Amino acid sequence: MTYNLLKSFGKSSQDTATRDIDDLLRRWILVKNPGGGRSTGCALA
């Protein structure tokens, strides 16, 4: 899943969605896919 797709699920602001995704990454619930740039995505751990 890309970050933009994840951000579109909720009805929160872009900033809140970014903080939520970062929190899930820190807790190892989500992991970043290899690569980078604008198409960076993540998957369930």
Residue 10 and residue 21 in contact, taking contact as beta carbons nearer than 8 Å:
no
**Amino acid letter, residue 14:** Q
User: What's the confidence (pLDDT) of residue 28?
Assistant: 94
C-alpha span between 29 and 21 (Å, rounded): 9
User: What's the confidence (pLDDT) of residue 27?
Assistant: 96
State both tokens at 21: 């995704």
pLDDT in tens, 1-45: 777 777 777 777 778 878 888 899 999 998 988 877 777 788 888
Report DSSP letters for 23-39, one per residue: HHHHTTSEEEPS--GGG
Domain membership of residue 20 as a residue range: 3-44
User: What's the confidence (pLDDT) of residue 23?
Assistant: 92
pTM > 0.75: yes or no: no
User: What's the confidence (pLDDT) of residue 4?
Assistant: 73
Q: How many separate domains does the chain show?
A: 1
